């Protein structure tokens, strides 16, 4: 921890220069087209909300069908009637997601999938503040929306993002890993949350053209883990046919 702080202080001019260069030269990919609310499938009713930043929104692919939302609902629709909403925006921090809850209707969800944290890291939110915001977010989702389980996606391995040059990649990667480690500890302390773990390395072969967002193969692996966690809830999908 002290080493990281000292390194960031010494490298600050270089880090700022690299950050400015990336902001000016890396393409800003659009959020994919497609329905963000709807109902698909047949079987027991299941209400799903995906909440988060650009990765939750599906940046890196051109259609919601290939993004997290589309791939999760495709998998769950085999066993359930899935009513879904996607509330996500490029650049969103956890504080933004909390503010969105103030304006959403009092609607019930069975599961909420969160994808937040990278922007908190890149925009300098402190770990203590971020964990408090995450915990508050989980509390409000359960209390206001009756959520059975919050599926927490955690942070990706930022230190593997191809677009980031060193030493910026090293600094952001270390900080993101630290945030993710403490987030998993928070999730493990809560019976109403579960963490998604994706053991998939990132490189040019499975990242989008901006080198910062995933491609469809990563969204597929993410969707596999999310849908498996939901299917594991036998009480929720009681009576559903097993997935082929």
pLDDT of residue 243: 46
Q: Contact, 153 vs 52, CB < 8 A?
A: yes
For 42, other C-beta atoms within 10 Å of its C-beta total 12
φ, ψ of residue 163 to 5 degrees: the values are -70, -20
Residue 33 CB partners (closer than 8 Å, separation 6+): 62, 63, 64
| Banded model confidence at residue 16, pLDDT cuts 50, 70, 90 | confident
pLDDT digits (tens, 9 = 90+) for 90-131: 999 999 999 999 988 888 999 999 999 999 999 999 999 999
pLDDT for residue 10 is more than 70: no
Whole-number Å distance between alpha carbons of 51 and 30: 17
Q: Kind and range of the H or E element at 81?
A: strand 81-88
What SS3 class is residue 149?
Answer: strand
**62's tokens:** 């051109």
Residue 191 CB partners (closer than 8 Å, separation 6+): none
pLDDT digits (tens, 9 = 90+) for 192-218: 999 998 878 899 999 999 999 999 999
Q: Contact, 240 vs 79, CB < 8 A?
A: yes
pLDDT digits (tens, 9 = 90+) for 62-98: 999 999 999 999 999 999 999 999 999 999 999 999 9
pLDDT of residue 238: 58
Cα dist from 59 to 83, 139, 215, whole Å: 22, 28, 8
Q: Which strands, in side-by-side order, build the sheet including 37-41?
A: 37-41, 81-88, 45-52, 111-115, 149-152, 193-195
């Amino acid at each position: 921890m002290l080493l990281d702080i000292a390194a960031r202080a010494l490298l600050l001019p270089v880090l700022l220069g690299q950050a400015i260069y990336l902001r000016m030269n890396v393409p800003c990919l659009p959020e994919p087209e497609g329905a963000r609310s709807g109902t698909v499938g047949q079987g027991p009713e299941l209400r799903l909300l995906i909440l988060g930043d650009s990765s939750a929104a599906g940046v890196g692919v051109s259609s919601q069908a290939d993004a997290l939302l589309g791939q999760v609902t495709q998998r769950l629709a085999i066993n359930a009637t899935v009513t879904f909403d996607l509330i996500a925006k490029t650049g969103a921090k956890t504080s933004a997601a909390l503010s969105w809850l103030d304006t959403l209707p009092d609607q019930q969800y069975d599961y909420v999938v969160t994808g937040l944290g990278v922007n908190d890291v890149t925009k300098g939110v402190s770990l203590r503040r971020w964990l408090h915001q995450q915990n508050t977010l989980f509390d409000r989702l359960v209390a206001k929306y009756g959520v059975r389980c919050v599926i927490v996606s955690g942070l990706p391995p930022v230190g593997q993002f191809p677009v980031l040059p060193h030493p910026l990649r090293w600094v952001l990667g270390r900080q993101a890993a630290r945030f993710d480690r403490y987030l998993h500890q928070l999730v493990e302390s809560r019976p109403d949350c579960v963490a998604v773990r994706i053991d998939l390395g990132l490189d040019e072969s499975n990242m989008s053209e901006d080198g910062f967002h995933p491609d469809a193969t990563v969204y597929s692996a993410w969707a596999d883990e999310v849908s498996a966690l939901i299917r594991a809830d036998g009480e929720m999908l009681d009576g559903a046919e097993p997935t082929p």
